[in-house]
Every structure is written in structure tokens, then in C-alpha cells.
Amino acid sequence: MHYGLMITISLAAAASLFIFAGCGGAGGSYLERLGAVTMKGNPLTIQGPDVQLGKPAPDFRVVDGAFAPVNLSDFKGKAVLISAVPSLDTGVCALQTKRFNEEIAKLPEDVVVISLSTDLPFAQKRFCDAEKVGAIKVLSDSVYRDFAYKYGVMIKDMGLLSRSIFVIGKDSTLLYKEIVPELTNHPDYDKALAEIRKAAG
């Protein structure tokens, strides 16, 4: 084969591989659920699978305030409540995060409560310092978008998480989820707290 042709084919193959790999990264091709949630009545599209109860909860990687990776699997053997919010800079999200920060003191010791958003860790730290939020783990999905796409809560074209709650059992089974239908509404706190207590056994 002619040397120039070999280079052309190799470059084409490399380009194809790059395009294929891009489908799995942030902004790539994902299952879309049109109008799955609304914001002030306007339909939004969320991306990612509709995770199923009773199945193993997908592992995911997010970052802490120092940009160090944190995985769901780090909390294996504990009951985990995940409170996902669009942004801590909004009123409902701030109240949701503070509510779970207050409630954790009433929960069993082997419960982990995680607040997730795509806010940068710097912004999350400012919020936590200002609002005295320190009992729960406030983590960021700004780097990998791993939670967003694996749990089907990425709001298309906004880069924000749809307001949602997930409860994961000690055996890593997904036990409860609430994708709040209207983004500006609060989740069902009482139901979520009852489910995490049940999960803790």
C-alpha cells in the first residue's frame, strides 16, 4: 500500500475513534426524556437513563472542595441519601440543602447525606461557610458530570442537575427516587427522610 494512503487511512481511523469516544463524554449522545420536568411550567429535556428501583445504584465520581475525586463506592455498607439541586445560588436549592443539613442529626449514625450540584467547589464552599452547612457532604459534579448522566438528571443545554432525591441501601441497591416534576418546587422531605431511615434499618 502506498505510504501516503496508509497515513490518510490512519488519520481517518483516528478521527472516527475520536468521534465515537465523544459520544460517551459530557455533551455526547444520551437518552433524552423530553418534557420530563418543567421550570415555571416550561418543559425541559433531561438526559441519561431512567434508573430503576431495586437495581444496583450506578457508581459515580464527583469531587470535593479540593477537587479530590469522591466515589459512591467510598460509602459502601452505609445507607446514602443523595439530594441533587440545580444550583446552591437559588433559594429553593439553598433551603433544600440546609434542610437536610439540619435533619442529619436526627438520622442513624451510619447514614451518609450527600448534596450534589454542578456548582464549582469554590462556590459550594462559599455557600457552606455562609450558611453554616457542614454536617452533610456537599460535592460537585462540575468536573465529570458522571452522576448527572448515569442517574438521568442532566438538564439539556443548561449543564444543571434536575432537582431529585435518591436513597441507596447498605447493599448498594437503589431503594427510592424522586425526580421533582417542577424544578422550582421542593422535594418531598418527609418521604425521603422516612426512606433513608428505613434503608438504615
Phi, psi of 42 (to 5 degrees): -90, 130
| Pair (23, 51) in one structural domain | no
Here the CATH number for the domain that contains residue 110 is 3.40.30.10
Which regions in the chain score pLDDT beneath 70? Answer: 1-29
Query: What per-residue confidence (pLDDT) applies to 135?
Result: 97
Query: What per-residue confidence (pLDDT) applies to 30?
Result: 78
| Pair (54, 94) in one structural domain | yes
DSSP label at residue 153: -
| Pair (72, 170) in one structural domain | yes
- Let me know how long the chain is: 201
Query: What per-residue confidence (pLDDT) applies to 28?
Result: 53
| Pair (63, 74) in one structural domain | yes
Query: What per-residue confidence (pLDDT) applies to 23?
Result: 38
Which residues, 6 or more positions from 133, have their beta carbon under 8 angstroms from its beta carbon?
97, 98, 101, 115, 127
Q: For residue 23, indicate whether it is catalytic.
A: no
| Pair (91, 162) in one structural domain | yes
| Pair (70, 126) in one structural domain | yes
| Pair (100, 6) in one structural domain | no
| Pair (3, 26) in one structural domain | yes
Domain that holds residue 164: 33-200
Residue 150: what residue type? K
Phi, psi of 15 (to 5 degrees): -65, -40
| Pair (39, 13) in one structural domain | no
Q: Which of 36, 93, 136, 161 is catalytic?
A: 93
Query: What per-residue confidence (pLDDT) applies to 29?
Result: 67
Predicted TM-score (pTM) above 0.95: no
Phi, psi of 99 (to 5 degrees): -60, -45
What CA–CA distance (Å, rounded) separates 86 from 90?
8
> Which three-class secondary structure state does DSSP give residue 109?
coil
C-alpha to C-alpha distances, 75 to 51, 78, 120, 131, 164, nearest whole angstrom: 19, 6, 22, 25, 20
What CA–CA distance (Å, rounded) separates 36 from 84?
16
- Say how many domains are in the chain: 2
